[in-house]
Amino acid sequence: MKSLFNNIYSVEKVSTFKKVDFGQIDKVEAIKESSKQVFEKIESADFDEVVYKIRNDINYKINEAEQLAVLNFFDDLKREANETLITVKSYKEKLVKDVKESKTSHLLDLKKKPELQKYAKEIFQEEKDSISLDDYFVLLELKKQLEVDEFIKMSEEE
């Protein structure tokens, strides 16, 4: 047992460790420490703080950490918007599927409503006694397009 210990812990092997330059390890630790400080600054930069600084000083130049905070904020918004859009689309598809598969008739009768018949003829370019679910979805898309066109027109006027 003693010889095993002497072979593992020999003076020559221990003395070779003394020749190792530990200065390199100190440099690595210093680099790690400085990178931690940079990441702490980046994490501490808040979008609201950046907006506050810019609003108070119009000539304020944002640093890299603040730029990263702004970019992260908008990336989070985009991701959240995409997730919301996917969720809404899935609900819409499910709803349309459920409505189309239901036994209930989804027609709006226009026979006793001459004014609505007139509007339906203007929109669909044909006589309509009723508006089906598909017609209703077409009307919703037209309404959406009209709102977009109106917004563009108003923004051009300003």
pLDDT in the model for residue 145? 93
* 66 neighbors 45 (Cβ within 8 angstroms): yes
pLDDT in the model for residue 29? 58
Whole-model pTM: value is 0.46
State the amino acid at position 19 in one-letter form.
K
Q: Which of 4-13, 98-107, 141-150 has the lowest mean pLDDT?
A: 4-13
Per-residue pLDDT tens over the stretch 30-86:
555 655 555 454 455 688 888 888 889 888 888 888 888 888 888 988 999 999 999
User: Half-sphere exposure (CA, 13 Å, Cβ side) for 139?
Assistant: 14
Per-residue pLDDT tens over the stretch 95-116:
888 877 877 777 888 889 889 8
